[in-house]
Amino acid sequence: MMTAIELGPKSLTAVTVKVNGRGPEIVQSGSVRLAAHDADSIKAALGSTGVTGPKGVLVVSRGQALLRDLELPAGTPDELVAMVRFQVEREMPLPLDQVYYSYVETGRSDGKVRIQVAAVPREILDPALKAVEAAGMKVSGAYVSSFGLLSLYGKTEPAALVEVANGEAEILVTDHGRMEYSRTAPLEDGVHADQIAQEIRRTLLSYGSRGGAREIGSIVLAGEGPDADALASAVGVALERSVLVTGPGTLETATAAGICAGLLRGTLMPDLLHPPVAARKFTITRKHRVVGMAALILVLLFAWSQVALGSKRAELDKKRQLLDSLKPRAATLARTQTQTQLANQWFKTRNVYIDALGALRQNVNTNSLWIVNASFDDPGIIRLQGKARDDGNVTEFVTALKKTGKFGNIAIERVDTSKSESPFYRKDFTVNAQLAGVDPKKKKP
């Protein structure tokens, strides 16, 4: 269902239309006098018509709108938006920021595209929008009444379509479903068939004077019912040709109903509130694919690396847990081992000097050398003091001790001339040694 509201100078017309298997059908409609164009008056008027609903479209009468036909080079929709904007700026008597405008494409041929532009000054539409919305009905679109009239006809043969409502007559010439010509005439003295017939004649003459205009086959009056039939008959008599009527709706409501029916059928009409705009459509190119693939590979690599890191962390955690369970046992055992080794210094390995004593005993040649003093200090430090016949005897003694392999380090500290009066031993010497496998710098446990 769709609701349309048309605000005339002194009246409000509202229609709710639905489309069923037999075509468009009016659910509720009405046309009432409007005291003023304010929210309260509109709300009251809407209540009188019985039309309700949360939202609807606003119908702007032809007399308040500017219509232009443009022929532009064929282009993409985005290009058309720019071209239409340029042409509208040139052709409209008002600056662009002071009008609502929209357009529809009505045909293409020979590389050209025909555009029909509808524009309404903001100073007319803004108050109407504000008032209707303040009355409780959200306005979802705004359309010029001519397109409702065109929608009612719905054929491609040339015809003159006539609407008589709100104190004026709109006469529209259509051919091939397009609006070819349109004009309005005020009906200041009320609805008179002769005056309407006269305006139709003028319109047809004006249209016929254009080059290439086809002959108008039929004249159609918008509206159904006794009033419409009577008027059509009278106008037909005045024109001396038949005048048809078309609906749904009465003389007052037919155009608004036409807007609803057209929109429900999906007919393209220029919506003044939602004009076509240049939309930047994103097209996936080869470059995009390559970049996307590279990005995807990077993301996958990153994800893989994080998974691998997570796996490695889990493995490390397991190892740490294992280590935590092993360490205290190992530390206890190492301590026990150390204590055992320490205890063994008092028991199993306590007599480390006995081998050294044996080596000394075997290598001392008492004919040339005499050991006066031998001291053995823990850990394995040996100091020998003695007398020798000459330096060579000391050197031989040290060399012999080295060969035993019992000493890790052995060296002559000094060899001096003896102060004693012994004629046999003329030298005093001191030799320092360490037992093999002993590190004198190592701290005792």
Among residues 189, 211, 347, 442, the one that binds another protein under rule CB under 8 A: 347
Q: In the window 136-165, what residues touch another protein (CB under 8 A)? A: none
Q: Are 385 and 414 in contact (CB under 8 A)?
A: no
For position 416 contacting another protein by CB under 8 A, the verdict is no
- Binding part of the chain for another protein, among 161-169, 221-229, 275-283, 333-341 by CB under 8 A, reads 333-341
Residues 353, 389, 408, 432: which binds another protein (CB under 8 A)? 353
- Closest contact distance (angstroms) between CB of 106 and another protein is 43
171 strand-pairing partners: 162, 183
Q: Say if residues 247 and 261 touch (Cβ distance below 8 Å).
A: no
Contacts of 196 (CB under 8 A, 6+ apart): 162, 164, 169, 187, 231, 235, 238
Residues 374 and 397 sit within 8 Å (Cβ to Cβ): no
Burial (Cβ within 10 Å: 0-12, 13-18, ≥19) of residue 95: exposed
Pairing of β 2-7 and β 55-60: parallel
Residue 283 or 375: which CB sits closer to another protein?
375
- Least Cβ distance, residue 369 to another protein (angstroms): 11
H or E element that contains 275: none
Among 190, 211, 328, 437, the residue binding another protein under the rule CB under 8 A is: 328
Report the distance separating Cα 236 and Cα 283, nearest Å: 57
Q: What is the DSSP string of 206-238?
A: HHHTSTTPPPP-EEEEE--SHHHHHHHHHHHHH
Q: Is position 374 an interface residue for another protein (rule: CB under 8 A)?
A: yes
Tell me the closest approach of the beta carbon of residue 375 to another protein, in angstroms: 4
Give Cα separations from 98 to 39, 82, 132, 142, 353 (angstroms). 23, 18, 20, 16, 118
Least distance in angstroms from the C-beta of 395 to another protein: 21
Measured from the CB of residue 329, what is the shortest distance to another protein in angstroms? 6
Binding mask 298-327 for another protein (x = CB under 8 A): ----x--xx-xx--xx-xx--xx-xx--xx
Residues 375 to 404 in contact with another protein, rule: CB under 8 A: 375-378, 387
Contact pattern from residue 13 through residue 42 relative to another protein, giving x for each residue in contact according to CB under 8 A and a dash for the rest: ------------------------------
Pick the closer one to another protein by CB: 156 or 338: 338
For 255, the token pair is 């155009």
Crossing angle for the helix pair 353-363 and 391-404, to the nearest 10 degrees? 140
242 or 338: CB nearest another protein = 338
Name which of 76 and 344 has its Cβ closer to another protein: 344
345 contributes a contact to another protein by CB under 8 A: yes
CA 111 to chain centre: 38
Among 277, 279, 284, 354, binds another protein (CB under 8 A): 354
Q: Does 411 bind another protein (CB under 8 A)?
A: no
- Is residue 443 a contact point for another protein (CB under 8 A)? no
User: From the list 187, 191, 213, 371, which residue makes contact with another protein (rule: CB under 8 A)?
Assistant: 371
- Nearest Cα neighbor of 7 from 149, 130, 173 is 130
Q: Residue 36 or residue 372: which is nearer to another protein going by CB?
A: 372
In the numeric block, the tokens 């006066």 are attached to: 372
Give the footprint of another protein on this chain (CB under 8 A). 302, 305-306, 308-309, 312-313, 315-316, 319-320, 322-323, 326-331, 333-334, 336-340, 342-347, 350-351, 353-354, 357, 370-378, 387, 422, 425, 444-445
